Amino acid sequence: MAYNLLNRRRFIKNSSITATGLALLSTAPQKSRTSSNAEPAIRFSVININHSHIYGMVDAVTRGGGQLISFYAKEPDLASAFAKKYPNAKQVQHKKEILEDKSIQLVLSSGIPVERAPLGVEVMKHGKDYLVDKPGIITLEQLAEVRRVQKESKRIYAIMYSERLENKATVKAGELVKAGAIGNVIQTIGMGPHRMNPQSRPAWFFDKKYYGGIITDIGSHQFDQFLFFTGSTRADIVASQAGNVHYPQYPAFEDFGDVMVKGNNGTGYIRVDWFTPDGLKSWGDGRLTILGTDGYIELRKNIDIAGREGGNHLFLVNSKETRYMDCNKEPLPFGEQFVNDVINRTETAMNQEHCFLATELSLIAQKMATRLDLKK
């Protein structure tokens, strides 16, 4: 499809800033590579960089002990920006150079969403693991094929649900819940607002056949958190709705969606939208409330509109205390856990079925969503 060159230039200009913002429990691995002086634990490459989330993904794997070896992007301007950020990575002229390089164990991608699953299938068939930006799969048909090839190849197909895995307050909340700070979790309420910035978006952003719809896209983060915090391994969509209520100039776009979900260990409500106002000093006031039998936790992931600086704000209320925690100094374990999973063939960073189930729920909710049509 045709791309808007001006939009891509704005994307490039903001890539390093965005990447910095993105870098905002499990079984113990057999091996650990935490020293910055250690030899690289794995070698990885990047194929397709159509979203700036790729920068946070690369940085996470690098923190975990991976070495970025090479990259491919068909857009010269996007490739140039990436090369400037990672000058030691070799730019290749075709993705097959990466796929056929037997020394590469892992491929990362933030390509156009509709292309992410087919690439992942190729990667797994070439004997490599795959870490992809969300949405990592945008149709149930793609999901079925990915599941089939993953089962046959026994490779890792991981989706970077960064609102949990790369958010320090959310990581801390996971530790508190595991320690029993709020009792048994009953419900999660996840809100994922985003700023629109239409002038900086590529053409595919406005057509759901390329990105899957708002629940498929942003909502996948919220389903991941719902499953993780409730401990649910099965779930059904109770109700969902989605629509374009404010941008008639983009008829194939969705700007609002919400979902009610019921799992075998808890319930959830999800709301996602593209209505972050320009007056907010963040791209979105991402929030998560975790209700337990003995208390609750509220996260303000990116900003506290009450006045505290920065992000990663956690509020804990239980029978003993009401407490605020600044989580900015908390560690982010995902990168190291994931690299160790690649080495040891384990599932400490993310259970494979959990990864697929979070996506499956978002796809089902998107497919069954009632069309929201608000006429003023």
Would the pLDDT of 25 be above 60?
A: no
Model confidence at 274, pLDDT cuts 50, 70, 90, reads: very high
Would the pLDDT of 10 be above 90?
A: no
Helices 140-153 + 352-368 axis angle, to 10: 170
| Domains 5-161+334-345 and 164-332+363-371 equal at CATH topology level | no
> pLDDT (tens digit, 9 = 90+) per residue, 88-146?
999 999 999 999 999 999 999 999 999 999 999 999 999 999 999 999 999 999 999 99
Provide the strand spans (E) within 125-215.
129-133, 157-160, 185-193
User: In this structure, what token pair is assigned to residue 137?
Assistant: 């799969």
Residue 132 and residue 122: Cα distance in Å, rounded?
Answer: 13
CA angle, corner 20, sides to 51 and 133, nearest 5? 30
> pLDDT (tens digit, 9 = 90+) per residue, 165-206?
999 999 999 999 999 999 999 999 999 999 999 988 999 999
Q: Locate the domains of the chain by residue range.
A: 5-161+334-345, 164-332+363-371
Model confidence at 40, pLDDT cuts 50, 70, 90, reads: confident
For residues 225-249, average pLDDT: 97
Residue 68 and residue 40: Cα distance in Å, rounded?
Answer: 9
Residue 317 and residue 53: Cα distance in Å, rounded?
Answer: 33
Helices 219-230 + 168-178 axis angle, to 10: 20
Phi and psi torsions of 197, nearest 5°: 45, 60
* Residue 124 and residue 147 in contact, taking contact as beta carbons nearer than 8 Å: no
For residues 338-362, average pLDDT: 98
Assign a CATH topology to domain 164-332+363-371: Dihydrodipicolinate Reductase; domain 2 (3.30.360)
Is the dihedral angle over the CA atoms 349, 109, 115, 248 positive or is it negative? positive
Model confidence at 374, pLDDT cuts 50, 70, 90, reads: confident
Q: What is the mean pLDDT of the chain?
A: 91
What is the pTM assigned to this prediction? Answer: 0.89
Would the pLDDT of 35 be above 60?
A: no
For residues 277-281, average pLDDT: 95
Which of 24 and 199 is assigned the larger pLDDT?
Answer: 199
Enter the CATH code of domain 5-161+334-345: 3.40.50.720
Would the pLDDT of 3 be above 60?
A: no
Quote the pLDDT of residue 376: 66
Residue 138 and residue 115: Cα distance in Å, rounded?
Answer: 9
Question: Rounded to the nearest 10 degrees, how much is the dihedral formed by the CA atoms of 177, 183, 188, 189?
Answer: -100
Residue 203 and residue 265: Cα distance in Å, rounded?
Answer: 40
Would the pLDDT of 155 be above 90?
A: yes
